[in-house]
């Protein structure tokens, strides 16, 4: 079977959730949430803060490689930062041409660049020159800003700029996250560019994955929200591909998930200030509710809670055995990502 990639999701999937999800297994590569580049050269510390895995050979603890994503619009600034990042030996450097957030788009970054294929070429060519050949250089794009009139031009520009693979989130900026994802566009793009095109958008189940591969003609798929909502999805896709029996017993999955939730909570408490910890847990539980009735019950039980101690008590009551969270290192005493979407 092809590759499975864990999508970048700013504000939702950080190194802690990447750790937990890649421990469940099934992913070949994860991509970090975007690091915003605007005007200045970021320090190695800033890159490590966004992608702590850089300090561990750019891998999660389970050994899954993590590429780092950059977001910006100025070719030289992106190239300089990519060169700086390359010194830290990331598993890959990816450029974001898909973010629909107005705050990012106002400065010409993210999906707005899809209106200007010539600029995509300038950016990708400059970054290509700055990144040593041994570090995979990739890009992630949507189909366009408002329509698909320039989709192929954008893909051609990024290919000409030297990306070794292109992830396509098969929707326009205007379509935001509304289903469906237009997987058929992946095939059209693959027909006009040489680098492999990785399909992305609306894969929530093993059946979605199979349909996505069939319609897009791509074996490689990046999974975003579906991975967060079902930590076992990638593993199940692999088991199916290997002809192994697939157990879709959600209560058995929930029992496997309980220690992972405990590990997640413990790591979150060690990483962020107390007042942000409950919010992080609620975000993941809100996603898990889609597939797990027990996650729904837990979400309802913690919804109004704010303190770490209260949340820990409720988790215990729901069978999530929480060990005393480790003390937070002084240097990490804050929210990890400064980039708000």
Residues known to be catalytic:
99
Whose Cβ is closer to ligand FMN: residue 292's or residue 320's? 292
Supply the minimum distance, in Å, between the C-beta of residue 11 and ligand FMN.
Answer: 5
Cα separation values, 45 from 51, 55, 64, 84, Å: 10, 10, 22, 11
Query: Which residues partner with 65 through β-bridges?
Result: 59
CA 310/CA 252 separation, integer angstroms: 27
Q: List phi, psi (to 5°) of 38.
A: -145, 100
Residue with tokens 């366009």: 144
Q: Is the dihedral of CA 47, 49, 51, 54 positive or negative?
A: positive
Question: What tokens appear for 141 in the block?
Answer: 């794009």
Instruction: Look up residue 145 and give its DSSP letter.
Output: S
Residues at the contact surface with ligand FMN, assessed by CB under 6 A: 7-12, 33-34, 69, 96, 98-99, 140, 169, 200-203, 223-226
Q: Please say whether the beta carbons of 237 and 4 come within 8 A.
A: yes
Whose Cβ is closer to ligand FMN: residue 140's or residue 312's? 140
Supply the minimum distance, in Å, between the C-beta of residue 31 and ligand FMN.
Answer: 7
Query: Which residues partner with 36 through β-bridges?
Result: 71
Supply the minimum distance, in Å, between the C-beta of residue 330 and ligand FMN.
Answer: 27
Whose Cβ is closer to ligand FMN: residue 128's or residue 142's? 142
Supply the minimum distance, in Å, between the C-beta of residue 328 and ligand FMN.
Answer: 24
Q: Please say whether the beta carbons of 271 and 215 come within 8 A.
A: no
CA 106/CA 340 separation, integer angstroms: 14
CA 54/CA 226 separation, integer angstroms: 25
Supply the minimum distance, in Å, between the C-beta of residue 110 and ligand FMN.
Answer: 8
Q: Which residue is nearest to ligand FMN (CB)?
A: 224
Whose Cβ is closer to ligand FMN: residue 12's or residue 21's? 12
Whose Cβ is closer to ligand FMN: residue 285's or residue 308's? 285
């Amino acid at each position: 079977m092809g590759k499975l990639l864990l999508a970048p999701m700013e504000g939702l999937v950080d190194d802690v959730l990447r750790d937990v999800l890649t421990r469940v297994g099934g992913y070949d590569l994860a991509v970090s949430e975007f690091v915003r580049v605007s005007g200045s050269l970021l320090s190695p510390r800033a890159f490590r803060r966004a992608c702590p895995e850089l300090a561990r050979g750019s891998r999660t603890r389970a050994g899954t490689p993590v590429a780092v994503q950059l977001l910006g619009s100025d070719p030289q600034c992106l190239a300089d930062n990519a060169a700086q990042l390359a010194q830290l030996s990331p598993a890959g450097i990816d450029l974001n041409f898909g973010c629909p957030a107005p705050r990012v788009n106002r400065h010409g970054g993210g999906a707005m660049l899809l209106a200007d294929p010539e600029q995509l070429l300038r950016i990708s060519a400059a970054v290509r020159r700055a990144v040593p050949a041994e570090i995979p250089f990739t890009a992630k794009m949507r189909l366009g800003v408002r329509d698909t009139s320039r989709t192929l031009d954008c893909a051609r520009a990024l290919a000409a700029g030297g990306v070794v693979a292109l992830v396509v989130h098969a929707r326009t900026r205007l379509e935001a996250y509304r289903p469906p994802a237009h997987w058929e566009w992946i095939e059209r793009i693959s027909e006009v560019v040489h680098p492999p095109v990785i399909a992305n958008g609306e894969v929530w189940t093993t059946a979605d994955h199979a349909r996505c591969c069939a319609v897009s003609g791509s074996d490689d798929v990046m999974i975003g929200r579906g991975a967060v909502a079902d930590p076992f999805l990638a593993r199940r896709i692999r088991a199916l591909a290997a002809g192994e029996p697939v157990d879709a017993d959600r209560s058995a999955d929930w029992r496997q998930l309980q220690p992972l939730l405990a590990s997640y909570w413990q790591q979150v408490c060690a990483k962020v200030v107390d007042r942000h910890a409950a919010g992080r847990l609620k975000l993941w539980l809100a996603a898990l509710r889609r597939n797990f009735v027990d996650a729904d019950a837990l979400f309802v039980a913690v919804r109004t809670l704010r303190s770490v101690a209260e949340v820990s008590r409720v988790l215990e009551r729901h069978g999530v055995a929480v060990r005393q969270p480790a003390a937070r290192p002084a240097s990490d005493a804050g929210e990890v990502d400064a980039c708000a979407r």
